[in-house]
Each structure stands twice: as C-alpha cells, then as structure tokens.
Amino acid sequence: MARLLVVDDEKNIRDGLQHLFEGRKHQTFVAESGREALAVLAREGEMDLVLSDWRMAEMNGLELLKEIKSRCPATLVMLMTAYGTIQNAVAAMRAGAYDYVTKPFSLEEIELAVERALEVRELRAENRSLKNSINGVPMLESANAQFRAVTETAYAAASSDATILLTGESGTGKNVLARQIHEWSPRRARPFVTVNCTTLSEHLLESELFGHMKGSFTGAIKDKPGRLEAANGGSVFLDEIAELPQALQTKFLRFLQDERFERVGGEDTIQVNARIIAATNRDLPREIEGGRFRSDLYYRLNVIGLHVPALRDRPEDILALAGNILREAAARNSRSGLQFSEDAKKALVSYSWPGNIRELRNAIERAVVLSRGTTLRKEDLPDILFQSGSPRTAGSGDDATLEQIEFEHIRRVLALAPTLEDAAATLGIGVATLWRKRKRYHLE
C-alpha cells in the first residue's frame, strides 16, 4: 500500500482518482490547491507520490513541485495538465518531476503511470537501503550508551590525522567503523585501502603493503606499488594488526614515524601521507608481554583507542540491527516487504551471538533465502539459535574447559557461515588454521 496525494482544483477529478486508488488499496489524500497540498504534507507526513494538476490558482503545479522537492526530496511528483507543451515538460523534468501526463487521460492510463512510478519509488528505496548498508551508517546507530560513546569519539577524531586503534571481538563491525571514520574525515575524497594481515604470508604481506621491484623475488615480473602508495592522501585500514609478523612490525613502525619506506628490493625512499586505522581482536598488551608484538608500535597505533563492544553487551541494538540487515538482504534477494514474527524477534534477542554482527548477518541472510511468505518465522532461523547452550547466559560456565568452549564456538560459526572463508573471517583466524581446527574437532 502506497501513500498518494491528488492535487487538482476540479472536484470530479479529485474524487475520481481518490476512488480509483483507494480501490487499489492505496491510502489517498486530496487537496484542491497547492497551498492545501503543502498543508496536507505538513499534517500527514511524506507521500510516496503526489499527482498534481499543472494549472491552479495561487500556486501552479511547477511551483508546488519545487516546494515538495525542497521539503520531501524522495517523494515522486507527477504533473497533469491539459496545456501540454514541450516547454512545460522540459521545465517539469528539470525541476525534478518524475513524469508528465496530459489531459484527458483514461483511468487505465493514469493507473498504469502511477503503478510504474510506485515501482520506481520502491526500487529507489531498495537502492538507498543497499547504499546505506554499504556505507555503514545505519549499522553505527545505537541505543547503547557504550557504543554511542565509541562512535562519538570516532567522529571527533575523524577530522584529525591521529592514528586510531580499534579493538573488540571478531564480527563487531570494526571494519564498518573504520570506513565511516574515513568518510567523516577531510580525506573522504581520497582512497580508503584495506589490508587484511591474516590472509598473506610474511613475504607477500610485505609486498602488499610496501610494493616491490621487478626481480626482487620469484614471480616479481614488474615493478608494483604497494597498498600504502595506493592510499596516498587517504586512509589505510590494517585489519588484524596483531598478525603482522615482527620483521614487518619494525618496518611499519618506521613508516608511522617518518611516513617513508622502500619497496621490496628497492633502494629509493618513497614518502606517503596516509592516515592509519588499525584493528585487532587480540589483547595487544598480553601479546606484548608474550613478546609477539612491539610495545613501541602499540603506542604509536594507540593514539586514539576505541573498544567496540560485543553484540551481547548491547542487546538493545539487536532488533534494530536485524531490521537493517533484513532490509538489505531482502533487497539483494528481490524479496522486499519481509518482516520478523514476534517469535523470531524473541529468538534473536535471546541468543548470545558469539560471532557478533557477522553471525547475525549470516543467520538473517539464510532465513531470507530459505523462508516462504512475507514473515520470517522462528522456524526460518538457524537451529543453533535454539540448541542447548545458545542463550545469552550460556557458553561461559565455570566447568567448561577452554577446548570445549573453542569447539562449541567453532561449531556454531561453521554452521552459520556460507563458506570456510567467511567462517575464518568471523573467528578472526586464517583459513588454514580453521581447516586444521575443523579436522581436529571432527567438524568436517
């Protein structure tokens, strides 16, 4: 059902169109002038479509169009007139009209034109939803005081060049926050480059970061700039910085201090200005104690330290996040209009989500693909949400061994993840490491 506003100074046209569209189950409002139309919008809120006459007293259709676009940019406006000219059509389109129809028209013609306009409106809404999910802004909206404090600090720090260290469990959205920091910053027009420190060997990771010269190693058939060079003037996001090998930690520390480095096999010093945002799910002070991470690199990275809370620590956000993810997944799978049943909502809130937002996303994506009808039921969600040990309070019993906790967590993530690579990303480990653990626990 759509919300329509018909604006025309002829009562028979207003009444006829209102009867037509209400018969099609659309909520239809009417106004006999532009001023009255604006009053309706102020009182009833934004419409999906305004169907307005062109020639009216006091305020004509074109003037009304401009007012509507300034107040409700997403509302589609279709103009109707018996004075159809090319000049009027061009003026209407330039001012933002969706379409332009001439009187007289049949009810079938106007009905078809309106239904096409509403289809366009729905597609645009879906595109905005997808774009917003890519940009990440809805995923950062929160009713949780701790998470709001994190995003407020991130926003304040974005305008500086200070290095930022994001900590927190895998799947909490550190990558989304990192990209948004870049979008909030003066560097937003320059590249945002991501380097995952878990996916490459030490040698390849060095080349990925700093670039290499032709012949510097087997397979180096030409000079290749690194990711740092590609991000000049922008931002670099180093995901899972704790996995950076110690030899590279030393070289990267020099870059942080001097903004200079040499490519692998090269002698020329390259200077790059890039803002560094790093993330890890490890306890870096403990890594320092164990001799696995340089303390001086830690302090250079931790100029602005932000800890992203786990999803189980912000239960008031679960349904809002689930709703955003559902709209995104529904649009991507051409299943608009989906909603959760009350039982499904209760199940989502009661689960502990050890894989955090990434696990929530996988569960909802699966439900969207496999469900039938317009309502996602409890039965459409993964069975693991209802198994023993899955509630929010479970999984951390005093009698459970570390091996048992690891086994259960890996089993849950593997059950939800569509691929082994996705499961490894959720767990914050390499694919090879997950393959070995899966074999060890007989989870193949």
* pLDDT tens digits for range 351-362: 989 889 999 999
> 128 by DSSP, 3-state: which?
helix
Check residues 233 and 417 and name the one with the higher pLDDT: 233
**What does the pLDDT read at residue 421?**
78
Tell me, what's the pLDDT at 44? 80
Q: Which of 264, 260, 163 is nearest to 212 (CA)?
A: 264
Amino acid at 139: M
Residue 219 is predicted with a pLDDT of 81
User: What pLDDT is recorded for position 7?
Assistant: 94
Q: Are 265 and 259 in contact (CB under 8 A)?
A: no
Mind listing the domains of the chain with CATH numbers?
Answer: 3-134 (3.40.50.2300), 138-309 (3.40.50.300), 312-440 (1.10.8.60)
Of all residues in the chain, what percent carry a pLDDT higher than 70?
91
Nearest to 49 by CA among 81, 17, 23: 17
Please report which confidence band the pLDDT of residue 400 belongs to, taking 50, 70 and 90 as the band edges: low
Distance of CA 141 to CAs 152, 170, 227, 279, 385, Å? 11, 19, 30, 20, 25
Other Cβ atoms less than 10 A from the Cβ of 63: the count is 13
Residues shown for the chain: 444
pLDDT at 116 over 90: no
Q: How confident is the model at residue 404 (pLDDT cuts 50, 70, 90)?
A: low
Tell me, what's the pLDDT at 403? Answer: 67
Residue 340 pLDDT > 90: yes
- What band does 397 get if pLDDT is binned at 50, 70 and 90? very low
pLDDT by residue (tens digit) across 366-392? 999 988 888 999 999 988 787 654 444
- The mean pLDDT value of the chain amounts to 85
Name the H helices within 371-430: 402-416, 420-427
Report whether pLDDT(72) > 80. Answer: no
Peptide bond into 138 cis (omega under 30): no
| Statement: residue 134 has pLDDT above 50 | no
Cα(277)–Cα(300) distance, rounded to whole angstroms?
A: 11
- Which pLDDT band holds residue 257 (cuts at 50, 70, 90)? very high
pLDDT in the model for residue 317: 93
Percent of the chain scored above 90 by pLDDT?
48
